[in-house]
Structure 1
């Protein structure tokens, strides 16, 4: 059952439509690795001002058997300082539903970097870079 939304605060800077620029992993030594969706994934992230959110990403390169080709989830979001919390209501894996995924964030105008831990595969640090393409302006 969906949780009530928490409206974003005016000036939080995140509300908008974001296009994925890059997606990679960092191992425990800080070495960069191709992310689970290959070297050039596409994706859209929606942060609505009313607290709803949705993210959809896909592989654009040829996949090998067992490769991840698509990922998405939806729910609500709230910003707490330098973090954004995604409360997941819909996901391809039922085990994700009801969880809160915390992402560290760096917001620089219309550029957003989110850092988190892999939900799939080895426990690597995920780095997703986004560019705002719609709804609102940067603070």
Structure 2
């Protein structure tokens, strides 16, 4: 692995998650001001991420369980670095549709601060699904 790769190694704590709309540049926090989560890059080439909304309650009904699913994002796989992005080949995910896919994320690393961006895509969290992206900020643990 290159020197650039090793700077990502370790555990990162989620500080914030926002969605940004491409046309208006408007940002919102659909999962609250303090979502929970961690991102881990292993020196063995595996990454894992878990992100949950700020407020969640245990679920014991179909509606409550669906709410928990809609406020969770988690996956793991082998990753590779290509310039200012990391690409993960998903082998296990909260969403079965992602298994076997490659997920591309762009990043900016500044010391112990890591900013991660998804590609621009239809935003399922906003009515009409306008083009947007997620912006996640992490701090090294």
Matched, 1:50 2:44: yes
Query: Does 2:33 align with 1:39?
Result: yes
* TM-score normalised per structure 2: 0.78
Change (3 A) 1:19 1:119: farther
Q: Structure 1: where are the runs of 5+ without partners?
A: 1-7, 134-139
Q: TM-score, normalised by structure 1?
A: 0.79
Provide the residue aligned with 1:79 in structure 2.
Answer: 81
Question: Matches of 1:101 and 1:9 in 2, distance apart?
Answer: 21
- Bigger fraction of residues in helix: 2
CA RMSD of superposed structures (Å) = 2.2
Structure 2 unaligned spans of 5+: 58-62
- Deviating above 4 A after TM superposition, structure 1's stretches of 4 or more consecutive aligned residues are 62-67
Count of matched residue positions in the alignment of Structure 1 and Structure 2? 125
